Chain A
Amino acid sequence: MVDVSIATLRADRAAVASQWQLIWWAFKRHRLAMAALFVTLAMYVVATVPGFFAINDPIAQNARATFHPPQAVHFFDTSDGFDFGPYYHPMRLTRDPNTLAAIFIADTSKKVPIELFGRGFSYSVLGLFETDIHLIASTDKTRPLFLFGADRLGRDVYSRVVQGAQVSLSIGLVGVFLSLLLGIVLGGISGYYGGRIDFVMQRVIDFVLSLPTIPIWLALAAALPQGWPATLQYMMITIILSFTGWAQLARVVRGRFLSLRTEEFVAAARLDGVSEGRIIFRHMLPSFSSHIIASMTLAVPAMILAETSLSFLGLGLQPPTISWGVLLREAQNIRSIATAPWLFLPGLAVVIAVMALNLFGDGLRDAADPYNK
């Protein structure tokens, strides 16, 4: 009863709006999901050109910077009149006279200015060209900026987190894409044909879903030879993750196919003389593509968590490949993190990425069906 009035209140604009416009309008109303979308987009931009956002070379080791703590960036200098412009105080390495442990003390008498679009180490943009321009760069290369501190080998944690985003975020996407391919093909066959094929496929999906994933991933990952090149390793890990991930998506696809098969507009299209291919691609796919995208978005964070866990356990990606899971291995022993708690920071990146993707996917799922209010 109320629905009718909402329909009459709808602006004319909505009358000619395609489903994606309606979904976008519904999604925009969800402010948290919008914020999550921007965070997600920002992260994927960083992951595309991590070199541009990094400050120091993520693989460069620096013996003098072992467990160098994070440095604060100052924006205003009021010690000597008023000076605007970001800078940091370099740190001096001293030794505790008794234990000889390294102690870093900020040298407040010195200032190293930070410049935007400055020059630093040279990196490649998507393998297309080389450049050495960075978003932020220190003006003194001998006293580098450690925004998130440095690790055991004096490598810059911030730049490594930025670099790790590339592998960690993309492995989620690629893994979900592989799962989706399997899920759509198998779930689609199951839902479209129904009957005995569907029955068998259902049993297989139930079976795969009832398996605990991690032990199986571990066993699969343990089978990978240690010496493989990084790209091959990367591909194998995504395949391993998709090995169990497809079932969830297949179930979603199957459910949608089954419910659409009995929709009257599909029967009407058949009577219109529309070919089976056109029914699937013109009538059925657009009806559930938004749901599939939402399910996919929600599957990406699970993949990211899985990769992180595997790499953390030492069975996923191996150094020198940089991923968030690999970085967190540095935080594995309690002595390291007791001296250098900033080694947890890659974990923060994981949490933020996963949360943003979850919130974004959630908002998308709520907005995915603009016709059923």
Chain B
Amino acid sequence: MLKFVVKRLFWMIPSLFAVSFLAFVLIQLPPGDFVTTYIATLASSNEVVDQNTAAQLRERFGLDQPMLVQYLKWIWGIVTRGDFGLSFEWQQPVSGLIWERMALTLVLALASLIATWALALPIGVYSAVKKYSIGDYAFTAFTFFGLSIPSFLLALVLMYVAAVEFGQDVGGLFSSQYETAPWSIGKMYDLLTHLWLPVAILAVSSTASLIRVMRANMLDELPKPYVTTARAKGLSEFRLLVKYPLRIALNPFISTIAWLLPNLISGSVVVAIVLNLPTAAPLLLQSLMAQDMYLAGAFVLLICALTLIGSLISDILLALVDPRIRLE
């Protein structure tokens, strides 16, 4: 078991490096750099920047060096000092801008993950056990609908309904009085009252896909001989269901973290932009548009690292609950 975890952790290292390099390359891809964008912005307000000033700016930000050098400097700063570089646009260290937003992103993703599981597990089991019942058909219809509606559209429709029918603005994660306030019990509570809508929106599509996974897993397990063995022992249907097929169908369910988390984070990006949530996404979009490369790079890096850690956790959990992996 320990060997498994160590091996798995070892594999994280190249993955993390690959992710960081990927993030850096992505940020470098656009033609031109921040200074070009900056000059263009100034030019639109009739300010002219001469070549000298531009060169000075580039030198100050280190943009005149080769890409690999820039990358190594960047990654060295992160590893040794937790320094993600400077945001050109905000003129302050990236690390000061991202952590609270990343934390909220994580809260949103985790809350959606829990909501997804809480819904998908019982529904999936029900659908499998009562295969072809009215309930099963109803849930199947829901899953197809949930998989078909883009999350931003769902967010828009809900916003429209709230605005037109109830005259409410449902965007954001905080009420206006808490927006800039320091953390307190009141602010936590306020967060919870706002969190449910994005969580619900995000959970729809992931719940839909997970119900299908759970239903298929259960349908695979239900006709297995060990279920018949348990039945022949005289166990009641409910007890044997919970103890055997459900328990075994849970294993692939746990490994869903590995792909559910990236999906949820992807989905949350779009939803956060539509609902204007103070998570990483709107700032990421903005920094991408402005080619604020260190800021965008930090976000892409952290978001990818988050999902890598998610798949690590799911692997370890899986090994914990499945003796076939643990005792291999």
Direct contact of A and B (CB under 8 A): yes
Chain A residues with CB under 8 Å of chain B are 203, 206-207, 209-216, 218-220, 222-223, 225, 301, 305, 308-309, 312-313, 315, 328, 331-332, 334, 337-338, 341, 344, 347, 350-352, 354-355, 358-359
* Contact, CB under 8 Å: A305 / B262: no
Per-position binary interface string of chain B over residues 293-328, scored 1 when its CB falls under 8 Å from any chain A CB and 0 otherwise: 000100110011001101100000000000000000
Chain A interface, DSSP helix/strand/loop, else mixed: helix
Interface residue B160 (Cβ < 8 Å from any Cβ of A): yes
In the complex with contacts A225-B31, A358-B148, A220-B262 CB distance below 8 A: no
By beta carbon, the residue of chain A nearest B309 is: A210
* Contact, CB under 8 Å: A344 / B150: no
In the complex with contacts A213-B262, A344-B157, A207-B18 CB distance below 8 A: yes
Q: How far is the CB of A69 from chain B (nearest CB, A)?
A: 15
In the complex with contacts A213-B266, A219-B296, A334-B159 CB distance below 8 A: yes
* Contact, CB under 8 Å: B152 / A312: yes
* Contact, CB under 8 Å: B19 / A218: no
CA distance A309 to B153 in the complex (A): 9
In the complex with contacts A222-B289, A347-B153, A214-B159 CB distance below 8 A: no
Partner of B300, one of A216, A309, A315, A337: A216
* Contact, CB under 8 Å: A219 / B27: yes
Per-position binary interface string of chain B over residues 1-35, scored 1 when its CB falls under 8 Å from any chain A CB and 0 otherwise: 00000000001000100110011001101110000
* Contact, CB under 8 Å: A347 / B150: yes
* Contact, CB under 8 Å: A351 / B148: yes
CB-CB under 8 A from A315, the residues of chain B are: 285, 288
* Contact, CB under 8 Å: B156 / A218: no
Q: How far is the CB of B204 from chain A (nearest CB, A)?
A: 12
Q: How many A-B residue pairs have CB under 8 A?
A: 132
* Contact, CB under 8 Å: A355 / B288: no
CB-CB under 8 A from A223, the residues of chain B are: 26, 29-31
* Contact, CB under 8 Å: B289 / A210: no
In the complex with contacts A207-B15, A209-B259, A355-B148, A219-B300 CB distance below 8 A: yes
* Contact, CB under 8 Å: B153 / A350: yes
CB-CB under 8 A from B288, the residues of chain A are: 218-219, 222, 315
* Contact, CB under 8 Å: B11 / A203: yes
CA distance A17 to B19 in the complex (A): 50
CA distance A283 to B253 in the complex (A): 34
Not counting A225-B31, A309-B270, A344-B156, a sample of 4 additional A-B residue pairs whose C-beta atoms are within 8 angstroms of each other reads A212-B304, A219-B29, A305-B150, A354-B148
Listed by A's residue number, 7 A-B pairs whose Cβ atoms lie within 8 Å are A210-B311, A212-B303, A301-B148, A313-B270, A315-B285, A347-B157, A354-B149
Q: Which of B142-185 contact A (CB under 8 A)?
A: 144-145, 147-153, 156-157, 159-160, 163-164
Q: How far is the CB of B194 from chain A (nearest CB, A)?
A: 17
CA distance A352 to B148 in the complex (A): 7
Interface residue B278 (Cβ < 8 Å from any Cβ of A): no
CB-CB under 8 A from B149, the residues of chain A are: 347, 350-351, 354
* Contact, CB under 8 Å: B30 / A358: no
CB-CB under 8 A from B18, the residues of chain A are: 207
Tally of B interface residues using CB under 8 Å: 52
Interface residue B269 (Cβ < 8 Å from any Cβ of A): yes
* Contact, CB under 8 Å: A334 / B304: no
Q: How far is the CB of A167 from chain B (nearest CB, A)?
A: 16
CB-CB under 8 A from A355, the residues of chain B are: 144-145, 147-148
Chain B residues with CB under 8 Å of chain A are 11, 15, 18-19, 22-23, 26-27, 29-31, 144-145, 147-153, 156-157, 159-160, 163-164, 258-259, 261-263, 265-267, 269-270, 273-274, 284-285, 288-289, 291, 296, 299-300, 303-304, 307-308, 310-311
In the complex with contacts A210-B307, A331-B156, A215-B148 CB distance below 8 A: no
In the complex with contacts A219-B26, A222-B288, A354-B147 CB distance below 8 A: yes
* Contact, CB under 8 Å: A222 / B30: yes
CA distance A268 to B299 in the complex (A): 54
In the complex with contacts A210-B258, A312-B270, A313-B273, A218-B284 CB distance below 8 A: yes
Q: How far is the CB of A304 from chain B (nearest CB, A)?
A: 9
In the complex with contacts A209-B259, A213-B266, A219-B27, A341-B152 CB distance below 8 A: no
CB-CB under 8 A from A218, the residues of chain B are: 269, 284-285, 288
Q: How far is the CB of A46 from chain B (nearest CB, A)?
A: 18
CB-CB under 8 A from A338, the residues of chain B are: 160, 163-164
Q: How far is the CB of B16 from chain A (nearest CB, A)?
A: 10
Q: How far is the CB of A266 from chain B (nearest CB, A)?
A: 26
By beta carbon, the residue of chain A nearest B304 is: A211
CA distance A225 to B291 in the complex (A): 12
Q: How far is the CB of B104 from chain A (nearest CB, A)?
A: 15
CA distance A66 to B163 in the complex (A): 22
By beta carbon, the residue of chain B nearest A222 is: B288
* Contact, CB under 8 Å: B29 / A211: no
Of A207, A212, A222, most buried by chain B (CB within 10 Å of CB) is A212
CB-CB under 8 A from A351, the residues of chain B are: 145, 148-149, 153
CB-CB under 8 A from B30, the residues of chain A are: 222-223, 225
* Contact, CB under 8 Å: A214 / B270: yes
CB-CB under 8 A from A331, the residues of chain B are: 156
By beta carbon, the residue of chain A nearest B310 is: A210
* Contact, CB under 8 Å: B148 / A212: no
CB-CB under 8 A from A222, the residues of chain B are: 30, 288-289, 291
In the complex with contacts A214-B269, A223-B30, A334-B163, A309-B150 CB distance below 8 A: yes
CA distance A341 to B153 in the complex (A): 13
Of A313, A331, A352, most buried by chain B (CB within 10 Å of CB) is A313
* Contact, CB under 8 Å: A309 / B152: yes
Partner of A328, one of B15, B31, B153, B311: B153
CA distance A135 to B261 in the complex (A): 46
CA distance A23 to B151 in the complex (A): 34
In the complex with contacts A207-B18, A209-B259, A223-B26, A359-B150 CB distance below 8 A: no
CA distance A328 to B156 in the complex (A): 10
* Contact, CB under 8 Å: A210 / B159: no
CB-CB under 8 A from B258, the residues of chain A are: 209-210
CB-CB under 8 A from A207, the residues of chain B are: 15, 18
CA distance A344 to B157 in the complex (A): 8
By beta carbon, the residue of chain A nearest B296 is: A219
CB-CB under 8 A from B270, the residues of chain A are: 214, 309, 312-313
